[in-house]
Amino acid sequence: MSRAYFDHAATAALLPEARQAWLEAIELVGNPTGLHTSARRVKALLEDARESIAADLGAHPTEVIFTATGSQGDSIAVLGGRALRPDRPAVAISAVEHPGVATVATMVDEVRELPVGPDALVDLDRAADLVDEDVALVSVQAVNGEVGTVQALDEVVELGHRVGALVHSDAVQALALPGLDLAATGLDLASVAAHKIGGPVGIGALLARRELALPAAGLGAGQERGIVSGTPSAALAAGFAAALRVVTALRRDVGAQPLWEVRRRIVAAVADLAAVRVNGPADPARQVPGIVHVTIDGVRADDVLFLLDSAGVDASTGASCRAGMHQPSDVVLAMTGSPADASSSIRLSFGWETSPEEVDRLVEVLPGIIGRARAAAAR
């Protein structure tokens, strides 16, 4: 039995175009830092990928710094951005950040947590009181990876720049929809990753304004603008660029309507169930269509996921960077303050390639699974 995949926000299926680009590039031999002909071929491929990614993300090629993961980009941005403002002790992050930001922020002198409302949107009025001249960097996720909330980045950027702080965004979940245009956002730094859009696992990028002289993230020969040392993978970069070209074209030519239709079917199925509610903003402009986050009263999220898995449906509880360990969702706790809600919420995420048959299976098995999970929790 083929499986129904609803964990797209953790990792999307590898796109054929990305696979082909990687396979072709992996045949080339040569270190891109070398001077001979073979090395120059690899270097050209690497730089072509950088230029393609830059064009699709509204950046200059020199602003694209290849990393191994989105989380690595987060670390470099938060710690490096803080180091560029040594007279400012604080970093301000939203209460619903990805662990790539939330955990690294504990390594600075002072962390100010920007509160959110029940829809996971940053409360900008309350945030304004926390972002002052002591803040070196503000970091707010462009799209929350658990609930799918689209933050008002333009207002966040204005808030940070007003006091002279740098502004970073973990934009990993925004790459497909609504997309990212670095120049248009006014962001100083943004982190992205290939595998969220059907590119290969093992490559991401930090977009950093050209004028920012970020400190080196480690020792080595000083590749990637002197920030990330080590031999970059031209093959992974080519796969990343190919995947980004595909999703950019899908966003332009197909649009979000197919994903909104999948979301509509799932939300309609959930609406018929007792004590199950969909989380996130009511305003569609503040919600990505590819994530449906639900709280199911009277269950343990782990039980629901196990039963879905047994029925051939892949789903998750939220952020994928928890070393395979489920724990109550920090995002839901920040939204509702309820440990019960944080332990009984699941995420269903999908993409353009999600088939009607996959949705059929999900909506068919979900009511029975919730009933069985409630019975198990009541024992």
Q: CATH number, domain at 369?
A: 3.90.1150.10
Could you read off the pLDDT of 240-255 as tens digits, one per residue? 999 999 999 999 999 9
At 54-95, the pLDDT tens digits run 999 999 999 999 999 999 999 999 999 999 999 999 999 999
Task: For the chain, give the mean pLDDT.
Answer: 95
Select from 219, 235, 250 the last residue of a domain.
250
Catalytic positions? 321
pLDDT computed for residue 1 by the predictor: 63
> Looking at residues 298-313, what average pLDDT do you find?
97
Same domain flag for 170 and 317? no
Q: Are residues 215 and 268 in the same domain?
A: no
Report helix, strand or coil for 19: helix
**Structural domains counted in the chain:** 2
Q: Would you call 114 helix, strand, or coil by DSSP?
A: strand
Which segments within 140-188 are labelled E, that is strand? 166-170
- Shared domain check, 304 and 185: no
- Domain final residue pick, 198, 232, 250: 250
CATH number at residue 38: 3.40.640.10
The residue range of the domain holding 358 is 4-12+254-378
Is the pLDDT at 21 greater than 60, yes or no?
A: yes
At which of 228, 250, 272 does a domain end?
Answer: 250
* 163 and 278 together in one domain: no
The CA-CA-CA angle for residues 328, 141, 326, to 5°, reads: 20
The answer to whether residues 258 and 147 belong to one domain is no
Considering the domain architecture, whether residues 110 and 226 belong to the same structural domain is answered as: yes
Pair (195, 159) in one structural domain: yes
Residues 327 and 341 in one domain: yes
Q: Is the pLDDT of residue 207 over 70?
A: yes
Q: How confident is the model at residue 222 (pLDDT cuts 50, 70, 90)?
A: confident
241 and 273 assigned to the same domain: no
Residues 235 and 192 in one domain: yes
295, two tokens: 């709280």
State residue 258 phi and psi, 5-degree precision: -60, -35
**Whether 183 and 293 share a structural domain:** no
Same-domain status, 151 and 231: yes
For residue 318, pLDDT over 90 is answered with no
- pLDDT given at position 323: 42
